[in-house]
């Protein structure tokens, strides 16, 4: 499965308010074969400690709530039905003497369903620049909300983080690299992919970060070179680099005689 995510920025965003907009600029591919359905169960993370604001609430009340919370958004109801979320950034610019209804155009109608996949939940966070995500039942009943920090902690249960392995960072022309080729290189060296994501795209060069099991790291690195990939990461197992360093040291000694 491939998901578009701002992987690094969202990890930071989980612990602080963000006043600026976030660009989605990473693509992540996760190997989820070892993860059971129950391991990444999101239902227990639904929070119900904040009562949504009615659209006719005063902005003084809403601003006071934001001052006492670390949320970037708060849910809003209309006629006892979930309407959307209002952001702290917008509310801070509104006239405190008015009501939310005077600025109903600023309410953003984003949410996820109770049974939404956890990676899709993270993508919803990214798309809406929020650190809370309202949760609805299939009947559109408001159930509560997720906090981004809680959902991101589910990464701790993925092989990308909790399995022992090595990190290899490679670069190749954006028109030349492929996930299938990367997979073939790794698996042909009797190793397994634990996770892979695009960490950088610049000047038609794509940088890919891969986590693999520890088997045959040196062989994998050499195979990537044979297929035209540049190795960005440093590896103690990289015998080619050790050989080049020895030759360079020998040449320096020869020139200094």
Domains of the chain by residue range: 32-152, 163-255
pLDDT confidence of residue 16: 36
Q: Would you state the pLDDT for residue 199? A: 86
Which whole-number Å values give the CA distances from 199 to 6, 81, 173, 203, 242, in the listed order? 10, 40, 14, 14, 27
Q: Which tokens sit at 182?
A: 């990367």
Complete DSSP assignment for 1-24: -EEEE-HHHHHHHTTS---S----
Q: Are 121 and 114 in contact (CB under 8 A)?
A: no
**DSSP assignments along 147-213, one per residue:** EHHHHHGGGGGSHHHHS--EEEEEEEETTT--HHHHHHHHHTTT--EEEEEEEEEETTEEEEEEEE-
Residue 246's pLDDT is 60
- Dig out the tokens for 206 from the structure: 């794509």
- Residue 86: predicted pLDDT: 97
The tokens describing 69, both together, are 């919370």
Same fold, 32-152 and 163-255: no
Residue 5's φ and ψ, nearest 5 degrees, are -145, 150
Q: Are 154 and 35 in contact (CB under 8 A)?
A: no
State residue 76 phi and psi, 5-degree precision: -130, 135
- pLDDT for the residue numbered 35: 43
Question: Helix or strand or coil: residue 26?
Answer: strand
Q: Which residues pair with 135 in a beta bridge?
A: 112, 144
Q: pLDDT 10s per residue in the chain (257 long)?
A: 333 334 433 443 443 333 333 333 333 444 443 443 444 678 889 999 999 999 999 999 999 999 999 999 999 999 999 999 999 999 999 999 999 999 999 999 999 999 998 888 988 999 999 999 999 999 999 999 999 988 888 777 776 777 788 889 999 999 998 889 999 999 999 999 988 888 889 999 999 999 998 778 889 999 999 999 999 987 665 555 555 556 565 555 556 65
Name the CATH topology of 163-255.
Alpha-Beta Plaits (3.30.70)
- Extract the tokens encoding 98: 């008015």
96 Cβ neighbours under 8 A, 6+ residues apart? 58, 59, 60, 63
| Cross-strand partners of 112 | 135
Provide CB contacts within 8 A for 119, sequence distance 6+. 1, 3, 5, 30
Please give the Cα distance from 88 to 163 (Å, whole number): 39
pLDDT the model gives residue 80: 92
Q: What is the pLDDT of residue 189?
A: 93
Among the four given CATH numbers 3.40.50.720, 3.10.580.10, 3.90.550.10, 3.30.465.10, the one describing domain 32-152: 3.10.580.10
pLDDT number for residue 18: 34
Alpha helices in 68-117 (DSSP H): 88-91
Nearest 10 degrees: Cα torsion 7, 11, 13, 14: 130
- CB-CB neighbours of 135 under 10 Å: 26
Q: Is 170 left (phi over 0), alpha (psi -120 to 50) or beta?
A: beta
């Amino acid at each position: 499965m491939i998901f578009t995510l701002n992987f690094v920025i969202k990890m930071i965003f989980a612990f602080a308010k963000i006043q600026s907009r976030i660009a989605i600029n990473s693509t992540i591919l996760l190997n989820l074969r070892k993860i059971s359905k129950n391991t990444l169960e999101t239902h227990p993370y639904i929070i119900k400690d904040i009562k949504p604001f009615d659209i006719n609430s005063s902005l003084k009340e809403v601003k006071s709530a934001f001052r006492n919370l670390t949320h970037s958004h708060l849910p809003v109801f209309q006629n006892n039905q979930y309407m959307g979320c209002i952001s702290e950034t917008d509310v801070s610019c509104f006239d405190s003497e008015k009501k939310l209804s005077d600025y109903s155009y600023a309410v953003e109608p984003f949410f996820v369903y109770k049974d939404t996949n956890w990676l899709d939940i993270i993508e919803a966070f990214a798309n809406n620049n929020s650190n809370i995500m309202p949760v609805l039942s299939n009947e559109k009943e408001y159930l509560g909300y997720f906090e981004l920090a809680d959902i991101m902690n589910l990464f701790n249960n993925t092989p990308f983080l909790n399995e022992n392995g090595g990190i290899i960072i490679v670069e190749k022309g954006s028109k030349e690299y492929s996930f299938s080729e990367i997979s073939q290189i790794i698996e042909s060296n009797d190793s397994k992919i634990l996770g892979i994501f695009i960490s950088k795209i610049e000047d038609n060069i794509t940088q890919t970060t891969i986590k693999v099991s520890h088997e045959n790291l040196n062989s994998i690195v050499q195979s990537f070179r044979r297929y035209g990939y540049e190795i960005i990461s440093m590896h103690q197992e990289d015998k080619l680099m050790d050989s080049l360093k020895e030759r360079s040291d020998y040449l320096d000694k020869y020139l200094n005689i």
